[in-house]
Amino acid sequence: MLQEEMPSPSELSGEAGELLKGLTPPQMQAVQATEGPLLVLAGAGSGKTRVITRRIAFLIHQGVPPWSILAVTFTNKAAAEMRERVLTVLGHDPKLTRGLTVTTFHSLCARLLRRYAEAANLKPEFSIYDSSDQATLAKRVIAELQLSTSNWPPRSVLSAISNAKNDLLDADEFAARAHDFYSRTVAKIYQGYAKALKLAGAVDFDGLLVLTAKLLQSNAEVRRECNERWRYLLIDEYQDTNHAQFVIASLIAGKNEEGHPPNICVVGDPDQAIYGWRGADITNILEFEKCYPGTQVITLGENFRSNAPILHAADQLIRNNQKRKHKDLFTSRKGGEHVEVTLTRDENHEAALVVDWLKSVKDERDDSPTSIAWREMAIFYRTNSLSRVMEDALRGAGVPYTIARGTAFYDREEVKNAVAYLRLVANPSDDVSLSRIVNTPTRGIGSTSFGKIEDYAAEHGTPVLHAMREAGQLLDVVGRGAAAIGKFVEMIDAWTGGGTFMGAQVSTSLADLVSRVIRESGLEAMYRTQAKASNSDADMERLDNLDELVSSARQFEMEFDAMADPAAETRNADGLARPNDQTPPLLAMLRAYLESIALVADADAVDPAQGAVTLMTLHAAKGLEFKAVAIIGLEEGQLPHSRARESQEQLEEERRLCFVGITRAMRRLHMTSSRYRTMRGIPERTIPSRFLDELPRESVRFSNQADATSGLEDFIARGEGGSGGGGGGQRYEPEGEFAAKDSKRAKLAWSSSSGTPKNAAFPVGAIVRHPQFGEGEVVSISAGVNARATIRFRGVGTKTLVLEYARLTRVK
DNA sequence: TTGCGATCCCTTTTT
DNA sequence: GGGATCGCAA
């Protein structure tokens, strides 16, 4: 039946030539080299996404059935975008992309594991555990083994387990290789952890990959089906794939059989490899050619994104990496603003400066044809902890912003609780979710009775919920506890129809189920009571978030059908049979919904439509671009991170991270380094990042705005441990603090202050014009390189502006 | 059993 | 600064 839907060339808009329009020769080559292994080395900003999109469209245009194409991207967002763009190129005919699979490794694996659950020795309702679930489970296992969590911190044990998994070692294989005390203990924990996961019917992030790889390795039938289904494989960000992903990719691509090398196309840039710490193996890309003899290699070097100084800065920086295959980055664009680098006093000063800079960039109309909108700006940082001060400053200045934290919503306590109920509904064995909500809201199942049940469950190797059903008879749980437990079990059964998901009392829609769970579990009432008692906005917001969760379920429901991943369902001409399709629709939808929640990435939250400045980590910035970019915290210990300075490899990865950040910028780039930074509540003196020294002088304008009286004295004298306490972020009182009284302190390669002091040009009483606020009168002005003027604007009110960026013109 | 307060520990990056 | 945990009081 699907054969009939195969696009005939006449249905395609335009000729193949259309698909190649506007491409450079190497880009065109990459689009057209459809057969056999292909490695595309795509430099930053070289039009990689464009090439991938056109390539998929080209394949379809050549008559390749869309369902035989599998494209793997790094984030869901990238996948959705790619699908959309392919559709656009093909003239918005949904029929043409029907069955096309564009997804992430993790989603793909989750799909495959559900589909082949039996072969993978899993229950199809398995839960996906995120890192906090993993930690909960690991803690329990460590305790059961009578080990202390201080000697065996769950997080580091988990990271050892994660490394093992990335190398495709299961618990027993790992144990067999463990010889020293440490790894033997880790092996024990790993084995206990694996057992606990199994019992809970749960799979962790790494597990999705491992289990899929093992499934494909061990099961010829599954492998055959995948090979037949997907004939064209395309993998983006290949430099960041780990060993497990490599194995999955090569198994799906198939072996070099019958003299036909697989049609596998990988795209990546070794200079942007930033996930070594989580097992990404850069040799995957460097040795792709060895792995696939006859590989065609195409290099895309021309940059279409950044202006010349930005690109030059990036290029010079990355040249400092020793372990690197040099690739020329070039652009034919001329001109463009210098990269700005500013040394600030502390994080508040830094934040204020960045805010001012963003404002000035937004208002800038004199020197550039168009101003840059908020949504085209971004602020990057190495660690999440740097966002807080920045947020305060943005909020204080009334600049709209969003943080790219995909999981932020689902990380909220109230949402996590509701989701835990849902996970238990979908998977009654999910002990981690159960223990989270069994007494939330409090319903008289305290740790004593629940502990007994857990012990009983552990002893009998049964899921805890199952043990609860028998608690009444079997345990010495006294009256009150037993009744509460009985009620809890009944409540769950009512939602699931006793596990059948059938019957009149079961919800017919996902949104209804979610809203019922929130109401009947008592979560809503609990938060309502809390909100009334405290009368705080934060508590009111919890209720809103629960409503929002219902909406998200409703939206998911609407898109679920149309969402067309017939991908996983569609069969090819050979008619791949799909095993057990007996799943009740509500349950199937719930599983898919929970899966989508579990696999959101930070970068998924980047939404330019919001009209706001985007804040994110450098890692999350990969693959994106913005007209104006600020990167903060360029300090030793922060940007080459202190934990990453031990080895040359790690240092080079930090440099690549910096490189990724720089190359996101199209027109304007500003990097800041703060002389003092508050770490764990203590202000610490910092050293500017070595990466700043590696930037080319001719493309960069350095400015030292930190030197004056040292800063620390003032900082401590103000009696506020950083964080802008009372005074608040950007409303920094400059009063001479930045005046260059003590120029001896100016060190390093910092030219002290750029330009001449501007304050002389705007004496108190002068009438000035601001591009946004209009005319105003100077009320006061401070001295120094970071001079600010307080100006009373007509109708707008009084503003304090940094002269350096305010773009004031004097009227009178 | 529950709720609150003190204390301790921490800190990279993420699917 | 802040989150998690633990202990103690009601």
Regions of chain A with pLDDT less than 50: 1-13, 562-580, 709-759, 783-786, 805
What is the C-alpha R_g of chain A? Answer: 29
* Res A380: pLDDT: 95
A102: three-class secondary structure by DSSP: strand
Query: How far is Cα A729 from Cα A804, in angstroms, rounded to an integer?
Result: 18
Judged by DSSP in three states, A255 sits in: coil
Greatest extent of chain A over all pairs of C-alpha atoms, in Å: 90
Q: Could you identify the residue whose CA is nearest to the C1' atom of nucleotide B1?
A: A446
Specify the 3-state DSSP secondary structure of A614: strand
**Proximity of residue A442 CB to strand B below 7 A:** yes
**Tokens at A729, concatenated:** 């972020």
Distance (Å) from CA A646 to C1' C6? 36
Distance CA A416, CA A132 (A): 11
- Is A447 near strand B, with its CB below 7 A from some atom of it? yes
Q: How far is CA A127 from CA A193, A357, A498, A598, in A?
A: 15, 46, 19, 9
Strand C at less than 7 A from CB of A722:
yes
Check whether residue A153 has its CB closer than 7 Å to nucleic acid strand B. Answer: yes
CA-to-C1' span, A753 to B3 (A): 56
CA–C1' nearest nucleotide, residue A726: C1
Query: Which secondary structure element, helix H or strand E, spans residue A171, and what is its range?
Result: helix A171-177
A435 in contact with nucleic chain B (CB within 7 A)? no
Strand, coil or helix: what is A809? strand
CA–CA gap between residue A117 and residue A444 (Å, rounded)? 37
- Helix H or strand E segment including A793: strand A788-793
Asked if strand C contacts A139 at the CB level, meaning under 7 A, the answer is yes
Q: Which nucleotide is nearest to A603 (CA to C1')?
A: B14
pLDDT at position A539: 74
Q: Which residue is nearest to nucleotide C2 (CA to C1')?
A: A680
pLDDT reported for residue A757: 37
A719 touches strand C (CB under 7 A): no
CA of A754 to C1' of B15 (A): 43
SS3 A583: coil
Q: Please list the residues that pair with A343 across neighbouring strands.
A: A673, A704
**By C-alpha distance, which of A219, A352, A202 is closest to A729?**
A352
- What are φ and ψ of residue A340, in 5° steps? -105, 135
A758 touches strand B (CB under 7 A): no
Query: What pLDDT sits at residue A758?
Result: 43
| Strand B–CB A602 distance below 7 A | yes
Q: Can you give the distance from the CA of residue A444 to the C1' of nucleotide C9 in angstroms?
A: 19
* A585 contact to strand C (CB, 7 A limit): no
Distance A437 CA to B4 C1' (A): 20
Instruction: Note the CA–C1' distance, A409 to B5, in angstroms.
Output: 28
Instruction: Look at the alpha carbons of A8, A14, A17, A19 in this order and tell me if their dihedral is positive or negative.
Output: negative
Beta carbons of A109 and A248 less than 8 angstroms apart: yes
> How far is residue A653's CA from residue A640's CA, in Å, rounded to a whole number?
9
Instruction: Give the nucleotide at minimum CA-to-C1' distance from A638.
Output: B12
Q: Strand B: which residues 623-642 of A lie within 7 A (CB)?
A: 641
Q: Cβ of A797 < 7 Å from strand C?
A: no
The CA–C1' separation of A801 and B6, in angstroms, is 44
Catalytic positions of A, written as ranges = 48-49, 236-237, 272, 664
- Residue A238 contacts residue A284 (beta carbons within 8 Å): yes
Pairing status of strand A665-674 against strand A676-679: unpaired
- Amino acid A136 CA to nucleotide C5 C1' distance, rounded Å: 13
Rounded to 10 deg, the angle between the A131-144 and A154-166 helix axes is 110
DSSP A9: G
Neighbours of A747 (CB within 10 A): 12
A73 vs A102, A106, A175, A340, A370, CA distance in Å?
7, 10, 33, 33, 33
Query: Which residues, other chains included, contact A586 with Cβ-Cβ below 8 Å and sequence gap of 6+?
Result: A501, A506, A507, A508, A509, A510, A513
CA angle A112, A164, A123 (to 5 degrees): 30
Nucleotide C5 C1' to residue A144 CA (A): 18
Specify the nucleotide whose C1' lies closest to residue A480 (CA).
Answer: B1
Q: CA at A720, C1' at B15: how many angstroms apart?
A: 38
Q: Which nucleotides of B are covered by protein (CB under 7 A)?
A: 1-3, 9-15
Nucleic strand B near CB of residue A643 (< 7 Å): yes
CA angle, A122 as apex, A433 and A71 as ends, to 5°? 95
Bases along strand C below 7 A from a protein CB: 1-2, 5
CA–C1' nearest nucleotide, residue A106 = B15
| DSSP secondary structure, A742-777, as one string | -GGG--TTPPB-SS---GGGS-TT-EEEETTTEEEE
Query: 3-state secondary structure string, A192-240?
Result: HHHHHHHHHCEEEHHHHHHHHHHHHHHCHHHHHHHHHHCCEEEECCHHH
Is strand B within 7 Å of residue A743 (CB)? no
Measuring CA to CA, how many Å separate A655 from each of A81, A218, A310, A316, A629? 28, 40, 15, 11, 17
What is the secondary structure of A377-442 as a DSSP string?
EEEEESSGGGHHHHHHHHHHHT--EEE--TTHHHHSHHHHHHHHHHHHHH-TT-HHHHHHHTTSS-
| A358 SS3 class | helix
pTM of the model: 0.80
Would you state the pLDDT for residue A578? Answer: 45
Q: In 3D, which of A343, A330, A333 has the Cα closest to residue A303?
A: A330
3-class SS string, A278-346:
HCECCHHHHCHHHHCCCCEEEEECECCCCCHHHHHHHHHHHCCCCCCCCCCCECCCCCCCCEEEEEECC
Residue A405 has a pLDDT of 74
Provide the terminal-to-terminal Cα distance of chain A, rounded to the nearest Å.
Answer: 78
Per DSSP, A38 falls in state E
Which of residues 654-683 of A have CB within 7 Å of strand C? Answer: 678, 680-681
